[in-house]
């Protein structure tokens, strides 16, 4: 078994226009002082990384690593959530997702998709230059608007959707394979990869591509009412990344999983700061340790009540307290006797 690394923190939700959240140096110093040992980098924020340069220059990556290491931190992974989303966008979402793209490709779906594909490929090459063997993204979605089976889906629609999704991702996956980097899809509502069944569909559509893997975030499963512990039992061999995020689900006679178009504060399903929700993290850390998860425990802070500053302060010790220092011995070794083939055969009555 392996001991999970951490605590680490995803910087996306913390970056802003005021110090200490406005530059790489100041946010690294801030997070290190709170007890974090790693940072996950959102690659769309040029204050944190020049993604194209990182893909093309090992020297730049060495300098970036050195700068972050100087604060006692490591880069855990690179994130292309926003760019990955744009690899596959149904026209119904064109306007809302355009803001994720560079201005020069907005209002041009074809150019936007090409830009997004290149961005995700850059992240794979940058990860290699940084010495990191996994990265996180979103799958995008061509089918999400059909997630509820009404109106009735025409026969073959889902198969066609996943065939096209796989076709868009195969060139990216092949580039990651060349780089020796895993693509970890965050299983998430709004993506075509939003549960176990859809992950399996995509895996099949990519001919079981070896770089197709999972970022596990139990908070989304709480909101979707999926068994997040059994999920680990089923898919542990694919889980290469872990977002530590809490959530709660409190359905009422007025609203349930779909949320009634209400704001986050009023929805039955809400993201919460660590320890304030319903996620059983003790069992999650136990299962991941049992299955030899060798990655980082990365806080993703999202809460509709608590401030990000308090969430970050409380997050590091929460994660540290849940990391299990895995044992290297069996607890009943003291009572064991000598073992060899002859003894074993004697015990079984074979001699």
Task: Give the tens place of pLDDT for each residue, 128-170.
Answer: 999 999 999 999 999 999 999 999 999 999 999 999 999 999 9
333 pLDDT higher than 90: no
Q: Residue 334: what pLDDT?
A: 63
Task: Find where tokens 């998430």 sit.
Answer: 188
Q: Return the structure tokens found at 259.
A: 């949320």
Inter-axis angle of helices 109-130 and 58-69, nearest 10: 70
Reduced to 3 states (helix: H, G, I; strand: E, B; else coil), residue 247 is strand
C-alpha R_g of the chain? 22
Q: pLDDT (tens digit, 9 = 90+) per residue, 232-288?
A: 999 999 999 999 999 999 999 999 999 999 999 999 999 999 999 999 999 999 999
The span from the CA of 74 to the CA of 85, in Å, is 26
108 pLDDT higher than 90: yes
Question: How confident is residue 203, by pLDDT bands cut at 50, 70 and 90?
Answer: very high
89 pLDDT higher than 80: yes
The hierarchical CATH code for the domain 5-347 is: 3.20.20.150
Percent of the chain, pLDDT > 70? 98
Degrees, nearest 5: CA angle 30-51-308: 30
> Residue 192: CB partners within 8 Å, gap ≥ 6?
88, 139, 140, 141, 142, 143, 144, 161, 162, 165, 198, 202
Task: Find where tokens 């990344």 sit.
Answer: 241
Task: Find where tokens 């996620």 sit.
Answer: 279
Q: Residue 163: what pLDDT?
A: 98
337 pLDDT higher than 90: no
Q: Return the structure tokens found at 319.
A: 């994660």
Q: Find out whether 177 and 210 touch, Cβ atoms under 8 Å.
A: yes
Q: Residue 329: what pLDDT?
A: 75
Q: Residue 336: what pLDDT?
A: 73
Helices (H), ranges, 206-244: 218-224, 228-235
| Mean pLDDT for the chain overall | 96
- Please indicate, yes or no, whether the overall pTM of this predicted structure exceeds 0.85: yes
Q: pLDDT (tens digit, 9 = 90+) per residue, 92-104?
A: 999 999 999 999 9
Task: Name the burial class of residue 105, with classes exposed (0-12), middle (13-18) and buried (19+) by CB atoms within 10 angstroms of its CB.
Answer: middle
Average pLDDT over residues 283-311: 98
Q: Residue 335: what pLDDT?
A: 64
Q: Find out whether 180 and 189 touch, Cβ atoms under 8 Å.
A: no
Domain ranges (residues) in the chain: 5-347
Task: Find where tokens 């872990």 sit.
Answer: 242
Pairing state of beta strands 212-216 and 182-186? parallel
Q: Residue 331: what pLDDT?
A: 65
- Say how far residue 306 (Cα) sits from the centre of its chain: 22
Q: Find out whether 176 and 182 touch, Cβ atoms under 8 Å.
A: yes
Q: pLDDT (tens digit, 9 = 90+) per residue, 17-76?
A: 999 999 999 999 999 999 999 999 999 999 999 999 999 999 999 999 999 999 999 999
């Amino acid at each position: 078994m392996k001991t999970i690394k951490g605590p680490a923190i995803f910087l996306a939700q913390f970056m802003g226009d005021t110090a200490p959240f406005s530059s790489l140096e100041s946010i690294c110093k801030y997070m290190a002082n709170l007890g974090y040992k790693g940072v996950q980098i959102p690659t769309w924020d040029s204050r944190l990384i020049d993604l194209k340069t990182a893909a093309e220059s090992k020297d730049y990556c060495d300098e970036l690593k050195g700068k972050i290491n100087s604060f006692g931190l490591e880069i855990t992974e690179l994130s292309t959530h926003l760019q990955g989303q744009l690899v596959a966008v149904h026209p119904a979402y064109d306007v809302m997702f355009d803001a994720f793209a560079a201005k020069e490709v907005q209002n041009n779906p074809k150019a936007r998709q090409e830009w997004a594909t290149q961005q995700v490929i850059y992240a794979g090459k940058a990860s290699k230059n940084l010495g990191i063997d996994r990265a996180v993204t979103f799958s995008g979605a061509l089918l999400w608007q059909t997630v509820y089976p009404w109106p009735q889906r025409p026969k073959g629609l889902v198969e066609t959707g996943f065939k096209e999704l796989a076709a868009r991702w195969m060139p990216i996956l092949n580039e990651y394979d060349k780089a020796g980097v895993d693509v970890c899809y965050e299983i998430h509502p709004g993506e075509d990869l939003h549960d176990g069944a859809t992950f399996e569909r995509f895996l099949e559509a990519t001919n079981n591509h070896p770089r197709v893997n999972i970022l596990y975030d139990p908070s989304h499963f709480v909101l979707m009412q999926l068994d997040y512990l059994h999920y680990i039992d089923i898919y542990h061999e694919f889980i290469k990344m872990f977002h530590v995020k809490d959530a709660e689900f409190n359905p009422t006679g007025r609203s349930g999983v779909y949320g009634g178009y209400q704001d986050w504060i009023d929805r039955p399903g809400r993201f919460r700061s660590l320890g304030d929700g319903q996620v059983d993290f003790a069992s999650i850390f136990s299962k991941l340790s049992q299955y030899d998860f060798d990655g980082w425990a990365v806080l993703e802070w999202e809460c509709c009540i608590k401030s990000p500053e308090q969430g970050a302060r409380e997050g590091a010790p929460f994660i540290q307290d849940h990391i299990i220092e895995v044992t290297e011995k069996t607890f009943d070794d003291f009572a064991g006797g000598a073992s060899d083939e002859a003894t074993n055969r004697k015990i079984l009555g074979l001699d």
